[in-house]
Amino acid sequence: MLRDEMNSPDLKLPELYINRELSLLAFNLRVLAQAMDESIPLLERLRYLCISSSNLDEFFEIRVAGLIQRAALDSVQAGPDNLTPQEQLSRISIEAHELVAEQYRVLNEVLLPELEREGIRFIKRQEWNEEQASWIKEYFEQELSPILSPMGLDPAHPFPRILNKSLNFIVQLKGKDAFGRTSGMAVVQAPRALPRLIKLPGEGNDFVFLSSIIHAHVDDLFPGMKVLGCYQFRVTRNSDLFVDEEEVDDLLRAVEGELGSRRFGDEVRLEVADNCPDELSGFLLDQFELEADALYTVNGPVNLNRLMSLPDRVNRPDLNFTAFTPGMPSRLSHAADIFQVLRKGDLLLHHPFESFVPVIDFLRQAAADPRVLAIKQTLYRTGPGSAVVDALVNAARAGKEVTVVVELRARFDEEENIALANRLQEAGAHVVYGVVGYKTHAKMILVVRREEEKLRHYVHLGTGNYHARTARLYTDYGLLSADPDLGEDVHKMFLQLTSLGRGSKLNKMLQSPFTLFNGMLERIERETESARAGKPARIIAKMNALVDAQIIRALYVASQAGVEIDLILRGTCCLRPGIPGVSENIRVRSIIGRFLEHTRIYYFQNEGGKAELFCSSADWMERNLHHRVESCFPVEEKKLRERVIKELDYYLQDNQQAWALQSDGSYQRIAQGEAEPLSAQLTLLQQMSEAE
């Protein structure tokens, strides 16, 4: 374990750490900033706005919900930054309100006017012409009215249960209904089966919101009464599942039983239209038992994420990113037998710049090859209609031993994972759900093949999920290898996951929750000792999030010793760079671009020895290092290692999509200055893919 120097600052001081939740909100601000970037195609800018909204939803559903639960228990437990749950909630409320206000400003003042100039219009009610109004009335009568169930509020009709993130309306009424009731209020719930964005007939790109149609014809739902006002609202609920794994006999049934509760978890946020009267907003807050700081008034649709469907409904390729075809490694261009290719050397794939197809082909060939005896794989997220799952099903039906570790608790993919687990079992595969208390987040495939009277292992190890769609959107590395030591390591890890007994020592890989944490600390300490001895010392780490306090303290000590440290972090970073005497040798940058940065890469210079470079499924977070099953594998072939280092350097030189973290926790966009423009993602796209 690293020890502080006698005269060094106390590295546990709260001011040396950035709050995790506030850092995550800062990430969403960087995403939202993409919506303002005029160098990005217009419809893609709209997507960034939607992504920032969707991210914020999940932030409230999981992160804020958890803090509310802890605050309700009067918890004073604080992280390294020493903020209690209640203090965090207060800070979050301020910054989240500012973020939401900025989202709607960008929508109303920037994107909607620019879309209109491109002939893509959202027609407001007061702007409908006679023909449009007539069509909308018919749409309401034929498509909407038959499935709407307006609910008047009175003692016999209490406030209805409101689904998580659903579109609803609170309606003010005057007069008596057919039974003489005068409650004065009703709730209308928008049908989930209908799109929120309706395209008007004609050759143009004119759209109207479903909410506008309901607003325009809400009077028809209350005959004989006068509608005084109709206002959108939306409630966000706690969506984290609770399953006491030590108390259940069947994890699949337990998770399945909890899924329904997600729709009606505890309320954490209320969004209402900004024209909603205070008394109605107060009434809704009372119904949901929320405080005033949980109220978000918005000037526009209460769910911006619904606009995500627009780019796919508008035939304007000039307003989208240029299409591309992922490249194919030259070694696979004319090779029919992937096993033969791997026997000659490892194959490293960098998605989405390179195709995900070789991974699918690896499985398909294994499924069809009579010499393949067994296939083992972990599945965290796969997506619907997965070719990966199809290959596993075919292998099981062909009589091969197929073992699949399915993580049922992959957040928001639980239902899909239950379905694929059932499908695999029906095909004859062995399905297990990992280890009680530890999510299985490792990305591994093991193929056991008989060759020359002996068994040989082939593996795929990745930083990302076996999901063909995200392989086009997320940056990830995948290693295909016939290395016997890696094969033996993966075999041992699968034994840990599927059987009982102590874990065996691995040859080359590190894994959580056993050796990865200490393995990273030991390598950071080795660089520290090199720097103290006057030798060159450097660490480059690229990941999604840096949260673990012990890792951060180790990096602070390394910086104090003179180790040059470059961190490339997509989202959350709790380390403060550039603090004199603590972290002046640490630089942190974030890349926000066309693709979601998802690779986890750890490089240690190891002066005097062989430089080490690892790829991993794990971020430097406490959950990944201590509470999940994670894989971390070395890239050992010299050419492949040099290639990854070169690609890392692109990210360190990026002056188009890079943001630098300041010691105060803010991010500043890195200016190009007099340097040549360099975008890491664009460079890799140009080098490896084929433009369409």
The H-or-E segment that residue 95 falls in is helix 85-105
3-state DSSP call for residue 379?
Answer: strand
Q: Where are the domains of the chain?
A: 20-319, 338-505, 511-691
- Say how many residues make up the chain: 692
Q: Please give the full DSSP string across 149-194, using - where no structure is assigned.
A: --EE-BTTBPPPP--TT--EEEEEEES--TT-----EEEEEPPTTS
Helix axes 42-58, 85-105, angle to 10 degrees: 160
Phi-psi category of 184—alpha, beta or left, where left has phi over 0 and alpha has psi -120 to 50?
left
Residues 6+ apart with CB under 8 A from 238: 61, 65, 68, 69, 265, 266, 267, 268
Q: How far apart (Å, rounded) are the C-alpha atoms in residues 641 and 223?
A: 73
Looking at the domain covering 338-505, what would its CATH class be? alpha beta
Q: Is there a contact between 424 and 399 (Cβ–Cβ < 8 Å)?
A: no
List 154's β-bridge partners, or say none: 157
Q: Could you write out the three-class secondary structure of 477-493?
A: EEEEECCHHHHHHHHHH
The H-or-E segment that residue 645 falls in is helix 638-653
Q: Is there a contact between 177 and 192 (Cβ–Cβ < 8 Å)?
A: no
Token pair for 481: 């290898």
3-state DSSP call for residue 377?
Answer: strand
**Residue type present at position 561:** A
Nearest alpha carbon to residue 467 among 478, 457, 458, 459: 478
List 189's β-bridge partners, or say none: 168
At 18 the pLDDT is 98
Q: How far apart (Å, rounded) are the C-alpha atoms in residues 602 and 406?
A: 27
Q: Is there a contact between 598 and 380 (Cβ–Cβ < 8 Å)?
A: no
- pTM strictly above 0.85: yes
Token pair for 317: 């390729």
Q: Is there a contact between 357 and 328 (Cβ–Cβ < 8 Å)?
A: yes
Burial class (CB in 10 A: 0-12, 13-18, 19+), 651: buried
The H-or-E segment that residue 206 falls in is strand 205-209
DSSP H helices, 499-637, are 516-532, 549-561, 622-626
511-691: same fold as 20-319? no
Catalytic residue annotation: 441
pLDDT in tens, 337-375: 999 999 999 999 999 999 999 999 999 999 999 999 999
At 409 the pLDDT is 64
At 490 the pLDDT is 98
Integer angstrom CA distances of residue 681 from 42, 474, 656, 692: 19, 11, 10, 17
Residues of the chain whose pLDDT is less than 50? 1-5, 241-252, 254-262, 691-692
* CATH code of the domain occupying 20-319: 3.30.1840.10
Nearest alpha carbon to residue 571 among 603, 551, 600, 550: 600
* CATH code of the domain occupying 511-691: 3.30.870.10
Helix axes 638-653, 680-688, angle to 10 degrees: 140
